[in-house]
């Protein structure tokens, strides 16, 4: 197994009890981090000089519908209802397994390019086993770490999740792949009957899987109370958006260890509602982050972190001025917290907190090097803020499980022109199934 010694960088470990940033060396042994410290010695290791760079844990995009990559920007001006009508009402049935594969491959490569090493692939367009296998193969071919959250297009509220397909994935395409785990992308209690919601949660618990669900607006449906009464909310429960959940419900869910994922750019732009970041912070909890859909917003998690941070600060500043008539003297949320949402909290939401999200001995070697000497970041007075301000051009290198996937600002993947051609062809054909946004057009 290969050993690599990364020297000279400022390291943001995100580990408790360590400085926000420190000058340290990182020794990688195979797929794991072997040591973090000053002046490490490893004569048998490849020596990589990362002076002038900032080393961070790989970002965790906890909620991405990767299967929509071929439709990039097509829904940038869609409201939530237009998105549901055009994409889920008109387009999904036209997807072939080849469409699923190319979108997942290209989408995962884009995530790596942006510094994301782990993605929660919320795949609710697995029309058949062949569609699911093609999506999985796209993730594996890209070399990203992923939780494949299996889902289907919207079903009758009384129809439970297809468990035979979950078990098939667990016993077949996913078994033996160190980078891939399975979860369930449920319709959830908001969009299922109480009986179906309880059955789905129980099935996930019996298999020890993360179960994730949408909740975007409206008072909680009866399914929520049924799942609560059955005692099935747990740290394996992930709620995406969570908009309009009453404060008492959020408090109860946080106490049960439930995680929340907010996708701030899309929530604000499409009309899901106000991100619940502040509600979580007031309870001592925190969100994880996702970019949701390339159909409407770019898949850059650092952008999502900055939007989430600025939006919550804006709400807090406005409330403080309303209450006191004065401007606040200190920021209510810090850049370090926002970076934690994109790393530590994402790992927790996907059930991977023991493997990724921090730079510590024993953790998986999922690492990102940010070129801090670039003109748009220099001088990098605050390393954490510098990372949040970084863009794709600043992501110099990305390692997943000890394997370089990006070096010298370029993806280490051959055939990218072919991937782009296939993605364009898929998107153009799929878009022909979508009607005009204006019914009078």
Provide CATH code, domain 3-57+357-409. Answer: 2.30.40.10
73 three-state secondary structure: coil
Q: Give yes or no for residue 331 having a pLDDT over 60.
A: yes
Q: How confident is the model at residue 437 (pLDDT cuts 50, 70, 90)?
A: low
88 three-state secondary structure: helix
What does the domain layout of the chain look like in residue ranges? 3-57+357-409, 59-344
pLDDT tens readout for residues 79-131: 999 999 999 999 999 999 999 999 999 999 999 999 999 999 999 999 999 99
Rounded to 5°, the CA angle 82-125-111 comes to: 85
Q: Residue 173: its pLDDT value, please?
A: 72
Closest CA to 33 of 98, 92, 117: 117
Q: Checking DSSP bridges between strand 10-11 and strand 22-23, what pairing results, if any?
A: antiparallel
Long-range contacts of 156-162 (CB under 8 A, 24+ apart): 157/187, 157/191, 157/192, 157/193, 157/196, 158/192, 158/193, 158/195, 158/196, 159/196, 160/192, 160/196, 160/199, 160/200, 160/203, 161/186, 161/187, 161/199, 161/200, 161/203
End-to-end CA distance of the chain: 60
Q: Residue 440: its pLDDT value, please?
A: 46
Average pLDDT for 162-178: 90
Q: Which residue in the block uniquely carries the two structure tokens 């360590």?
A: 18
**182 with 140: CB under 8 angstroms?**
no
**67 with 123: CB under 8 angstroms?**
yes
Q: Residue 294: its pLDDT value, please?
A: 97
pLDDT tens readout for residues 410-419: 999 999 999 9
**386 with 372: CB under 8 angstroms?**
yes
350 three-state secondary structure: coil
What is the C-alpha to C-alpha distance for residues 105 and 124, in angstroms, rounded to an integer?
16
Average pLDDT for 356-366: 98
Closest CA to 406 of 417, 420, 392, 389: 392
Based on the number of CB atoms within 10 Å of its own CB, is 56 exposed (0-12), middle (13-18) or buried (19 or more)?
A: buried
Token readout for 136 is: 């999985």
Q: How confident is the model at residue 209 (pLDDT cuts 50, 70, 90)?
A: very high
- Measured from the Cβ of residue 20, the count of other Cβ atoms closer than 10 Å reads 16
What is the C-alpha to C-alpha distance for residues 3 and 43, in angstroms, rounded to an integer?
10
What is the C-alpha to C-alpha distance for residues 22 and 19, in angstroms, rounded to an integer?
6
Edge-to-edge strands, sheet with 395-400: 22-23, 10-11, 53-57, 367-371, 395-400, 403-407, 410-411
**Mean pLDDT for all residues in the chain:** 96
| φ and ψ at residue 401, rounded to 5 degrees | 55, 40
- Among 3.40.50.2300, 3.40.50.10260, 3.20.20.140, 3.30.450.20, name the CATH number for the domain at 59-344: 3.20.20.140
Token readout for 10 is: 């400022």
Based on the number of CB atoms within 10 Å of its own CB, is 413 exposed (0-12), middle (13-18) or buried (19 or more)?
A: middle
Global confidence as pTM: 0.97
Percent of the chain with pLDDT over 70: 99
Q: How confident is the model at residue 441 (pLDDT cuts 50, 70, 90)?
A: very low
């Amino acid at each position: 197994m290969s050993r690599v010694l990364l020297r000279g960088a400022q390291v943001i470990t995100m580990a408790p009890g360590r400085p926000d940033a420190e000058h340290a060396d990182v020794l990688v042994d195979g797929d794991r981090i072997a040591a973090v410290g000053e002046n490490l010695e490893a004569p048998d290791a490849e020596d990589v000089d990362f002076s002038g760079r900032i080393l961070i844990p790989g970002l965790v995009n906890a909620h991405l519908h990767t299967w929509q990559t071929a439709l990039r920007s097509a829904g940038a001006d869609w409201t939530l209802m237009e998105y549901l009508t055009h994409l889920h009402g008109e387009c999904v049935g036209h997807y072939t397994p080849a469409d699923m594969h190319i979108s997942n491959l290209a989408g995962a490569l884009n995530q790596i390019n942006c510094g994301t090493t782990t993605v929660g692939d919320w795949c609710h367009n697995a029309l058949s086993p062949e569609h699911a296998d093609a999506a999985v193969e796209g993730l594996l071919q890209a070399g990203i770490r992923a939780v494949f959250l299996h889902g289907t297009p919207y079903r009758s509220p009384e129809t439970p999740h297809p468990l035979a397909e979950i078990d098939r994935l667990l016993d077949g395409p996913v078994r033996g792949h160190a980078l891939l785990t399975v979860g369930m992308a449920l319709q959830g209690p908001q969009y299922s009957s109480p009986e179906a919601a309880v059955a789905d949660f129980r099935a996930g618990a019996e298999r020890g899987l993360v179960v994730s669900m949408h909740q975007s607006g409206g008072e909680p449906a009866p399914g929520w109370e049924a799942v609560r009464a059955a005692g099935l909310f747990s740290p394996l429960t992930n709620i995406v958006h969570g908009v309009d959940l009453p404060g008492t419900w959020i408090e109860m869910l946080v106490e049960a260890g439930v995680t929340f994922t907010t996708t701030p750019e899309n929530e604000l732009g499409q009309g899901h509602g106000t991100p619940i970041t502040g509600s979580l912070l007031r309870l001592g909890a925190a969100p994880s982050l996702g970019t949701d859909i390339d159909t409407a917003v770019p898949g850059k998690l650092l952008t999502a972190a900055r939007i989430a941070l600025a939006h919550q600060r804006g709400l807090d500043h406005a409330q403080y001025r309303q209450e006191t008539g004065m401007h606040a003297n200190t920021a209510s949320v810090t850049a370090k917290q926002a970076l934690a949402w994109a790393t530590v909290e994402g790992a927790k939401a996907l059930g991977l907190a023991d493997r990724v999200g921090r730079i510590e001995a024993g953790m998986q070697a999922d690492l990102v090097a940010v070129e801090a000497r670039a003109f748009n970041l220099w001088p990098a007075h605050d390393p954490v803020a510098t990372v949040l301000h970084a863009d794709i051009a600043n992501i110099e290198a990305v390692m997943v499980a000890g394997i370089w996937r990006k070096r010298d600002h370029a993806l280490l993947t051959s055939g990218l022109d072919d991937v782009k051609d296939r993605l364009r062809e898929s998107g153009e054909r799929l878009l022909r199934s979508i009607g005009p946004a204006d019914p009078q057009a």
